[in-house]
């Protein structure tokens, strides 16, 4: 069957075959096989179809799924659709086509596309969030939250877009304008439903330690939740019984407090109305602040405010009377809505004080070199660092090591000096080591490399280097190569931050003294009476204890996280299962009336009221069931509610009695591996964790984290490295690529182009290379013959089996593919390939390029799918490197023969040779002029 490789033909054929043979049907109740649950982030079925980002992450999960299946696991690898959402509704407003119809059509298109890429999903087991059989359970969960006090209604200020006629989320406000239509956002007081996610703030932070997620995602989620431990302090209002309570994380700075500020919403303002001499000015200011969004208040460059004349508060530590301001840079709903202002050590206060001519008083000094306390602080940092700043672009080179003792922080800079020379000097001065191999400059950044005498020596083994701000592809390329060659470790950015702290402190202090900035770092307490000399941390403890003793303050924990507002004045979402009695009391729609369906007789054109309000059917239904005068809730839920639990449905999607049976839940959940974009860190991934925690607390779930392991894919960029977008016209359509190159080439290229978590630059010229690789494998079948392969072929084959298996497991798909490319090249050189070896190669290829693998497998005369085979096992005895005799010559004369690894590197050979007694004798006292290495043969030393 020596025809040419024709993906079009074979791909269709195998996709049909898989479908007909129920390739991805699994027995979800099977009790004998170990389970694995791999999950993709399900797509929103948009009109434009699958985009390349989906294509990449779904390919990755499909490869992993097929691999696990071949390893003998019972794998759940489901797919579904996040089908509610605004685009379908907007389309309906424009065209009148109902969202349900558009959505159905789009879903069909998505399924067609996914199948054309060979993604193995069982679409008879899908979850579609707009399907009443699905949202019945969204509503049921809402009900459970309602019964357990985890959902409540309140009226609060929200972002209102007058052109879209709806509330929008904080994330959808850009520079005070609606992200979609650019209309200036207003603040409107609207009633809405909220989930009590804040009840779980502490667990949401703490339990991140339990899951295997990318560190940066965990860090970002922690920051978003924003735990801060601080102190509340009561400042007595002068000549009054009243107290102003402030929240601060920096009580250690309190001797530098020169005024206090309250938010415009603070109730103390009206309580002190009689005492405030300029109340009308204060009131006018409050009125102006009303329309501003929280974000614009926080980010405003120029701080505004009004002094409340005639009232003062007393600093409990100093007894000083300080003025009181109302200013909108202080928010009403964070902490206590009031702050003690310390302009010397807080940037916002510093700016405000400059504008209003308020005094700036130092109470913290940095840990400086001559300060004995510095030792104490620096001991805590286990590592020593040299940081070299590139003054041209403010990038830093950070050299760190952890085998040397801490000496002192290198304060030398590169002012005016040659960067490379400076870097070299820094490292040498600080370490005392002279073995620095070289430091060189690449572009505007610098790069360091160290001589490592021997891989087991720990003197330099722990050196790490970092190149910051790699600016262009060329630099990244060089950096990668260096890393691959030398195995140096890149210091993670988080770690670097720690190193930079000390450096920053010095810069910050300098800037502070130049009068430009507040000094916001921790340091040593000064000008603070008996607290002088304490380091910030100790001072905070002691001062808080002092306040607690006097009943004037206490230690508190605050979170930035806000309760989740879920009401939307939109149509195409899940109805909130609430009805109101004629008195206006909210009641849950009982389970027997679920799903509480979305009415169809609505007007899509927005009029400022929720579309559901105009439905005659909904009104009738409500009155029929609950009685005359009862009304339904007209808002629908945020679509993030739908996606906060979809993964709980997949194990049992047709269950009409429960969202998932107990048995299936215990068997399948939680999810073992989740693959999807990092852009979901703050919303979906947080909301899903909240849902699981809330359901766990209520007793519905027996686990409290949804996704044990999470990995992100990078972005797919165009060939110039730009983000793909419709407006730029650089969007690549997966359909076209499949048509042109075949699904197997598209799949393999997506994963070969870069490590999964890195961005992929889509370059059609390069996909051709992957296509050729598949063609090469196709042609190799001509060489297949009975018999055994050579020892050399066996060696490389078994090494590849080991590598591909390990690489898929750790999701290093790109290196797995390159290992297979090397194997293919090796096989191409052989006159004949043993049939068993070729078959094993096909099995390795199968997860990546399943269609061609099935076809070639069939051509070998096999009569079952390649995926019914077990993943091949490598044999240890083929992994060992062959040994060779390597000649060592001095000035052309043979002086020694070394028995070494066939693939030994030059450095190692030199090391061995120079350590040999025979060679040492010949070299004694002589200078080596040159060393030439001929791999696999000889080392020639010239003296």
Task: Output the smallest distance, CB 152 to ligand ANZ, in A.
Answer: 22
Task: Output the smallest distance, CB 162 to ligand ANZ, in A.
Answer: 28
| Maximal C-alpha separation, the chain | 109
Task: Output the smallest distance, CB 501 to ligand ANZ, in A.
Answer: 16
> Could you give the residue ranges of the DSSP H alpha helices within 391-449?
419-431
By CB under 6 A, residue 784 contacts ligand ANZ: no
Site string for ligand ANZ, 285-324 (x = CB under 6 A): ----------------------------------------
Residues 216-235 binding ligand ANZ (CB under 6 A) are 228
- How large is the C-alpha radius of gyration of the chain? 34
Which of 23, 44, 65, 334 contacts ligand ANZ by CB under 6 A? 334
Task: Output the smallest distance, CB 574 to ligand ANZ, in A.
Answer: 34
Cβ neighbours of residue 137 closer than 8 Å, sequence gap 6 or more: 645, 649, 659
Nearest to 316 by CA among 555, 557, 549, 558: 549
Which of 100, 331, 508, 731 contacts ligand ANZ by CB under 6 A? 331
By CB under 6 A, residue 743 contacts ligand ANZ: no
Which of 71, 90, 198, 249 contacts ligand ANZ by CB under 6 A? 249
> Could you give the residue ranges of the DSSP H alpha helices within 531-668?
536-550, 616-626, 639-642, 662-668
Q: With contacts defined by CB under 6 A, name the span among 247-255, 574-582, 683-691, 923-931 that binds ligand ANZ.
A: 247-255
Site string for ligand ANZ, 52-91 (x = CB under 6 A): ----------------------------------------
By CB under 6 A, residue 327 contacts ligand ANZ: no
Size of the site for ligand ANZ (CB under 6 A): 18
Question: Which tokens go with 482?
Answer: 């260096």
Task: Output the smallest distance, CB 213 to ligand ANZ, in A.
Answer: 24
Nearest to 158 by CA among 687, 631, 562, 680: 562
Q: Which is nearer to ligand ANZ, 558 or 869 (CB)?
A: 558
Residue 822 to residues 72, 477, 776: CA-CA distances in angstroms?
A: 27, 21, 12
Question: Which tokens go with 177?
Answer: 């304008």
Cβ neighbours of residue 925 closer than 8 Å, sequence gap 6 or more: none
The Cα 138–Cα 641 span in angstroms is 8
Q: Quick check: bond before 595 cis, omega within 30?
A: yes
Q: Which is nearer to ligand ANZ, 43 or 256 (CB)?
A: 256
DSSP reduced 3-state for 910: helix
Q: Which is nearer to ligand ANZ, 557 or 879 (CB)?
A: 557
Q: Which is nearer to ligand ANZ, 52 or 263 (CB)?
A: 263
Task: Output the smallest distance, CB 171 to ligand ANZ, in A.
Answer: 19
DSSP reduced 3-state for 670: coil
Pairing of β 716-717 and β 760-761: parallel
Q: With contacts defined by CB under 6 A, name the span among 115-123, 326-334, 615-623, 872-880 that binds ligand ANZ.
A: 326-334
Q: Which is nearer to ligand ANZ, 173 or 338 (CB)?
A: 338
Q: Which is nearer to ligand ANZ, 8 or 560 (CB)?
A: 560
By CB under 6 A, residue 346 contacts ligand ANZ: yes
The Cα 504–Cα 560 span in angstroms is 26
Instruction: Indicate the helix (H) or strand (E) that contains 295.
Output: helix 294-299
Count CA within 13 A, CB hemisphere, residue 409: 24
Q: With contacts defined by CB under 6 A, name the span among 334-342, 619-627, 646-654, 758-766 that binds ligand ANZ.
A: 334-342
Which of 158, 159, 253, 610 contacts ligand ANZ by CB under 6 A? 253
By CB under 6 A, residue 98 contacts ligand ANZ: no
DSSP category for residue 489 = P
Q: Which is nearer to ligand ANZ, 250 or 452 (CB)?
A: 250
Task: Output the smallest distance, CB 528 to ligand ANZ, in A.
Answer: 13
Q: Which is nearer to ligand ANZ, 342 or 496 (CB)?
A: 342
Angle at alpha carbon of residue 688, lines to 686 and 689, rounded to 5°: 65
DSSP category for residue 412 = -
By CB under 6 A, residue 424 contacts ligand ANZ: no
The Cα 202–Cα 879 span in angstroms is 49
Pairing of β 445-450 and β 464-467: unpaired
Site string for ligand ANZ, 543-582 (x = CB under 6 A): ---------------x------------------------
DSSP reduced 3-state for 340: strand
Q: With contacts defined by CB under 6 A, name the span among 89-97, 159-167, 243-251, 710-718 that binds ligand ANZ.
A: 243-251
Q: Which is nearer to ligand ANZ, 236 or 558 (CB)?
A: 558
The Cα 433–Cα 427 span in angstroms is 8
Contact 250, 345 (CB under 8 A): yes
Q: With contacts defined by CB under 6 A, name the span among 179-187, 338-346, 544-552, 572-580 that binds ligand ANZ.
A: 338-346
By CB under 6 A, residue 248 contacts ligand ANZ: yes
Task: Answer positive or negative: Cα dihedral of 685, 686, 689, 690.
Answer: negative
Task: Output the smallest distance, CB 194 to ligand ANZ, in A.
Answer: 20
By CB under 6 A, residue 195 contacts ligand ANZ: no
Task: Output the smallest distance, CB 301 to ligand ANZ, in A.
Answer: 16
By CB under 6 A, residue 531 contacts ligand ANZ: no
Site string for ligand ANZ, 255-274 (x = CB under 6 A): --------x-----------
Which of 41, 151, 340, 904 contacts ligand ANZ by CB under 6 A? 340
Instruction: Kindly tell me the burial class for residue 126, based on how many C-beta atoms sit within 10 Å of its own C-beta (0-12, 13-18, 19 or more).
Output: buried
Cβ neighbours of residue 267 closer than 8 Å, sequence gap 6 or more: none
The Cα 206–Cα 200 span in angstroms is 10
Q: Phi then psi for 453, rounded to 5 degrees? A: -60, -40
Q: Which is nearer to ligand ANZ, 346 or 635 (CB)?
A: 346
Contact 681, 217 (CB under 8 A): yes
Interface contacts to ligand ANZ, rule CB under 6 A: 228, 247-250, 253, 263, 330-331, 334-335, 337, 339-340, 342, 345-346, 558
């Amino acid at each position: 069957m020596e025809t040419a490789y024709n993906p079009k033909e074979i791909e269709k054929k195998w996709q049909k075959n898989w479908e007909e043979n129920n390739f991805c049907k699994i027995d979800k109740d099977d009790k004998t096989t170990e389970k694995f649950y791999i999950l993709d982030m399900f797509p929103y079925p948009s009109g434009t179809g699958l985009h390349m980002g989906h294509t990449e992450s779904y390919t990755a999960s499909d490869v992993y799924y097929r691999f696990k299946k071949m390893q003998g696991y019972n794998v759940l690898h489901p797919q579904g659709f996040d089908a509610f959402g605004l685009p379908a509704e907007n389309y309906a407003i424009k065209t009148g086509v109902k969202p349900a119809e558009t959505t159905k059509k789009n879903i069909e298109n998505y399924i067609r596309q996914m199948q054309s890429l060979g993604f193995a999903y069982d679409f008879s087991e899908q979850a579609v969030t707009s399907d009443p059989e699905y949202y019945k359970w969204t509503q049921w969960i809402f009900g459970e939250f309602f019964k357990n006090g985890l959902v409540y209604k309140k009226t609060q200020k929200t972002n209102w877009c007058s052109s879209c006629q709806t509330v929008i989320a904080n994330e959808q406000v850009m520079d005070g304008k609606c992200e979609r239509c650019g209309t200036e956002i207003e603040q409107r007081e609207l009633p809405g439903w909220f989930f009590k996610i804040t009840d779980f703030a502490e667990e949401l932070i703490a339990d991140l330690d339990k899951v295997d997620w990318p560190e940066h995602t965990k860090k970002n989620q922690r920051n978003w939740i924003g735990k801060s431990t601080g102190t509340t302090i009561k400042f007595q209002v002068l000549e009054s019984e009243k107290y102003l309570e402030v929240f601060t994380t920096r009580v250690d700075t309190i001797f530098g407090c020169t005024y206090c500020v309250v938010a415009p919403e603070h109730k103390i303002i009206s309580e002190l109305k009689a005492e405030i001499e300029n109340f009308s000015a204060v009131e006018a200011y409050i009125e102006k602040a009303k329309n501003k969004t929280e974000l614009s208040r926080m980010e405003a460059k120029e701080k505004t405010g009004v002094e409340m004349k005639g009232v003062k508060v007393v600093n409990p530590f100093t007894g000083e009377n300080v003025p009181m301001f109302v200013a909108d840079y202080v928010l009403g709903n964070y902490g206590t809505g009031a702050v003690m202002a310390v302009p010397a050590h807080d940037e916002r206060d510093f700016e405000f004080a400059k504008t209003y001519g308020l005094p700036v008083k130092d109470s913290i000094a940095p840990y400086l070199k001559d300060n004995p306390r510095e030792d104490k602080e620096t001991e805590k940092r286990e590592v020593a660092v040299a940081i070299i700043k590139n003054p041209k672009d403010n990038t830093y080179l950070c050299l760190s090591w952890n085998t040397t003792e801490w000496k002192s922080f290198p304060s030398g800079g590169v002012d005016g000096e040659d960067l490379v020379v400076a870097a070299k000097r820094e490292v040498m001065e600080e370490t005392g080591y002279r073995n620095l191999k070289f430091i060189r400059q690449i572009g505007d950044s610098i790069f360091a490399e160290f001589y490592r005498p021997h891989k087991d020596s720990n003197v330099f083994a722990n050196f790490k280097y970092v190149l910051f701000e790699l600016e262009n592809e060329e630099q990244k390329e060089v950096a990668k190569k260096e890393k691959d060659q030398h195995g140096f470790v890149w210091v993670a950015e988080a770690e670097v931050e720690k190193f930079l702290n000390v450096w920053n402190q010095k810069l910050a202090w300098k800037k502070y003294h130049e009068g430009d900035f507040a000094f916001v770092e921790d340091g040593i307490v000064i000008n603070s009476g008996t607290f002088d000399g304490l380091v910030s941390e100790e001072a905070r403890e002691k001062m808080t204890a002092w306040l607690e003793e006097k009943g004037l303050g206490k230690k508190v924990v605050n979170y930035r996280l806000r309760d989740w507002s879920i009401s939307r004045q939109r149509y195409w979402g899940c109805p909130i299962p609430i009805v109101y009695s004629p008195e206006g009391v909210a009641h849950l729609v009982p389970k027997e009336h679920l799903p509480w369906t979305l009415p169809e007789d609505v007007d899509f054109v927005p009029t400022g009221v929720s579309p559901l309000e105009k439905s005659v059917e909904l009104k009738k239904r409500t009155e029929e069931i609950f009685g005359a005068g009862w009304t339904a809730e007209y808002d629908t839920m945020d679509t993030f509610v739908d996606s906060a639990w979809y993964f709980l449905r997949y194990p049992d999607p047709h269950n009409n009695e429960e969202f998932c049976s107990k048995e299936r839940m215990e068997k399948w959940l939680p999810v073992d591996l989740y693959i999807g974009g990092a852009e979901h860190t703050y919303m979906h991934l947080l909301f899903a964790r909240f849902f699981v925690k809330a359901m766990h607390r209520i007793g519905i779930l027996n686990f409290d984290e949804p996704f044990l392991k999470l990995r992100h894919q990078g972005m797919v960029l165009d060939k110039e490295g730009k983000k793909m977008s419709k407006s730029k016209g650089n969007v690549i359509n997966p359909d076209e690529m499949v048509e042109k190159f075949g699904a197997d080439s598209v799949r393999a290229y997506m994963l070969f182009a870069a490590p999964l978590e890195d961005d992929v630059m889509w370059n059609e010229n390069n996909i051709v290379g992957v296509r050729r690789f598949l063609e090469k494998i196709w042609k190799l079948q001509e060489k297949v013959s009975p018999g055994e392969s050579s020892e050399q072929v066996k060696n490389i084959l078994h090494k590849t089996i080991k590598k591909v298996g390990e690489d898929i497991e750790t999701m290093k798909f790109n290196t797995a593919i390159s290992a297979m490319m090397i194997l293919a090249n090796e096989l191409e050189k052989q006159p004949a390939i043993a049939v068993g070896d070729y078959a094993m190669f096909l099995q390795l290829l199968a997860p990546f390029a399943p269609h061609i693998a099935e076809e070639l497998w069939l051509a070998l005369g096999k009569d079952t799918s390649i995926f019914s085979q077990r993943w091949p096992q490598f044999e240890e005895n083929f992994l060992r490197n062959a040994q060779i005799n390597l000649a060592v010559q001095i000035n052309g004369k043979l002086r020694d023969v070394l028995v070494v690894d066939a693939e030994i590197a030059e450095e190692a050979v030199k090391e061995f040779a120079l350590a040999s007694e025979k060679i040492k004798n010949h070299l004694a006292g002589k200078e080596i002029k040159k060393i030439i290495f001929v791999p696999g043969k000889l080392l020639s030393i010239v003296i």
